[in-house]
Amino acid sequence: MVGLISNQDVAQYIQDPAVNSLGKINVDKAIKNKAGESLRKIGVGNDKAINYFLDLISNQDVDRDIKDTAVYSLGEIGVGNENAINALVDLIGNQDVDKNTKYHAVKSLGIILKDEPMSRVVTDLKAYLSVETSNNNSNLVKKCYGIIWKCAQNMTYPEFHQAWLKKHKAEFSEINR
């Protein structure tokens, strides 16, 4: 199956079912990692490949190393993909995710972030940083501020100002309690 996915000469109508079934079958970590490498080679902008990595990220039963590989892979193939951007932002803000995975998510987010969801990224990362700075995770905090700086450089001042002042959905739920 990995051979089908990675072979550039195999028709898309054969590769698509191979990618779809890979996420559903029970294979060992080495095979999933090899499949991930193959998907990165053919997957730039490929929604099916991106969705495969998104499924791995959202699956609670996935091994941390495979999840980190999926996060890293999104940084290579998910440029400008709003679903990938949103998933990485959500991963960064998830309290149940380990710091190493969050660090990879911030790094990948910095690579794939484009114009469209920048206001959401600013709002969500700002809310996350208020929690994370109290946890003294300085490398992660610096990376997050780097992403916010990138957004500030690519947004108009009014857009950035509005995004910075906007309340995050988690902040709303705290206020309404």
- The residue from 108, 127, 157 where one domain ends is 108
67 with 119, same domain: the answer is no
Q: How far apart are CA 39 and CA 44, in angstroms?
A: 8
Give phi and psi for 168, each to the nearest 5. -75, 150
HEC string for 133-149: HHHCCHHHHHHHHHHHH
- The residue from 83, 108, 133 where one domain ends is 108
27 with 55, same domain: the answer is yes
* pLDDT tens, position by position, 78-130: 888 999 999 999 999 888 888 889 999 999 999 999 866 899 899 989 888 87
Closest CA to 22 of 81, 66, 87: 66
Q: How far apart are CA 120 and CA 114, in angstroms?
A: 12
* pLDDT tens, position by position, 39-83: 666 667 778 888 888 988 988 887 788 888 889 889 989 888 999
62 with 120, same domain: the answer is no
* pLDDT tens, position by position, 34-47: 666 766 666 677 78
- The residue from 55, 80, 108 where one domain ends is 108
70 with 34, same domain: the answer is yes
Q: What pLDDT does residue 152 have?
A: 94
Number of domains the chain is built from: 2
132 with 170, same domain: the answer is yes
Q: Decide: helix, strand or coil at residue 113.
A: coil
93 with 131, same domain: the answer is no
164 with 120, same domain: the answer is yes
Give phi and psi for 81, each to the nearest 5. -80, 115
Q: How far apart are CA 96 and CA 54, in angstroms?
A: 17
Q: How far apart are CA 176 and CA 121, in angstroms?
A: 23
Give residue 141's domain range: 115-177
155 with 78, same domain: the answer is no
